[in-house]
Amino acid sequence: MKQLIDSSDIADDVAALRERMSEDGYLYFPRLLPSDYVTGIRADIAAVLHDSRWLASGTEPHELRASDRAVEEGKSTFFGMYSAVQATQSFHELSEREELRGLAQRLLGEEVFCHPMHIARITAPTPRATPTPAHQDYRLIQGAVDTLTMWIPLADCPSDAGGLEVLAGSHKLGVLGVSRAEGPGGVTAQVTGSGVDDWRSTHFGQGDVLMFTSLTVHGARPNLSDRLRLSADIRWQARSEPAAFIDGYEPFRPHFHPDVPDWPTLARGWTSTTSIEIPEGLTYVRKFDSMSEHVPTPPSRFR
């Protein structure tokens, strides 16, 4: 598999960033976030994992050695641990880092906001956890087609721990058909026969940032180590563009709500809730069925 292209040298060049995103559908920035800052978040999550007995007995929390209690996300025994992770203030405050906001703003060219539904991925070793199948985010999140996802490893992620892979150039295919699949998200994009096969990944380090469009096909590789793989997904969009919601549900609830409590419960005792606040004046559109056979591709800055 080919290596991701390092975009650190163009991080402040708006035209070059937009050109590369338009060509490849992703941008990769090794060690964009300070290691000591990310170590603090990792330690907070590791403490939750230790208390939830997801870490092997007799090991140090920072090693992230998985116990037999570690399961795939969404299983019934997952939510107690995950609710405690979602109640961790330092995790959500990733969205307040200027390195991340600045990147999103330079790419989108206007004021942005971060979706409050910040996703923590605590990936158990395979086969206890099925890797996330290759998919496009657009069918799942909808709303603004130029919503940008940032995938951030919260601990070093060598090749045996898997990590994320992206299909470079796949955003140019538009909204692809999908079929049901095992693993988080439950759907896979139909890319066979598309003529696009430039899969890319790397040996990820703690604090790297991999950024991609909502039309870029991506998925997780198997975790073949004995450790839990920790990462964060956070998403940015232009404030002027609509976000999506489902009838009967308020937008931007916590990840896995209602299996995970709502914000008033999760944020009890926090010193600040800025990281999960929703800007005023947003517009919204209703979500369509994510399994719809034919979904038009909206105009995008990056195609």
The pLDDT tens digits for 264-278 are 999 999 999 999 999
Q: Is the residue at 300 inside a domain?
A: no
pLDDT tens track for 112-128: 999 999 999 999 999 99
- Is 80 exceeded by the pLDDT of residue 243? yes
Per the structure, the complete domain to which residue 132 belongs is given by 2-286
Q: What is the pLDDT of residue 303?
A: 86
- Is 80 exceeded by the pLDDT of residue 249? no
List, in sequence order, the alpha helices (H) in the chain.
14-24, 35-51, 79-86, 89-92, 98-108, 138-141, 263-266
Q: What is the pLDDT of residue 256?
A: 96
Q: Is the residue at 82 inside a domain?
A: yes
- Output the domain CATH number for residue 253: 2.60.120.620
- Is 90 exceeded by the pLDDT of residue 246? no
Query: What is the full DSSP assignment across 129-153?
Result: SPPPPSB-SHHHH-S-TT-EEEEEE
- Is 90 exceeded by the pLDDT of residue 234? yes
Whole-angstrom distance, CA of residue 189 vs CA of residue 211: 19
Q: Read off the pLDDT of each residue in 271-288 and give the average, rounded to a whole number.
A: 96
Q: What is the pLDDT of residue 250?
A: 76
- Is 90 exceeded by the pLDDT of residue 1? no
Q: Is the residue at 294 inside a domain?
A: no
Tokens found for residue 77: 């025994």
Tokens found for residue 191: 């890319």
Share of the chain above pLDDT 90, in %: 95
Q: Is the residue at 297 inside a domain?
A: no
Whole-angstrom distance, CA of residue 273 vs CA of residue 92: 9
Q: Grade residue 148 by pLDDT with cuts at 50, 70 and 90.
A: very high
pLDDT tens track for 50-109: 999 999 999 999 999 999 999 999 999 999 999 999 999 999 999 999 999 999 999 999
- Asked if residue 215 lies in contact with residue 297, where contact means CB atoms within 8 angstroms, the answer is yes
The answer to which of 242-246, 247-251, 289-293 has the lowest mean pLDDT is: 247-251
Q: How many structural domains comprise the chain?
A: 1
- pTM exceeds 0.95, yes or no: yes
Count CB neighbours of 92 within 10 A: 27
What's the count of helices (H) and strands (E) in the chain, helices before strands? 7, 14
Arithmetic mean of pLDDT over the chain: 96
Q: Read off the pLDDT of each residue in 131-144 and give the average, rounded to a whole number.
A: 96
Q: Is the residue at 295 inside a domain?
A: no
Whole-angstrom distance, CA of residue 42 vs CA of residue 24: 30
Q: Is the residue at 291 inside a domain?
A: no
Q: Is the residue at 302 inside a domain?
A: no
Q: Is the residue at 98 inside a domain?
A: yes
CA angle 252, 254, 258 (to 5 degrees): 110
pLDDT tens track for 10-33: 999 999 999 999 999 999 999 999
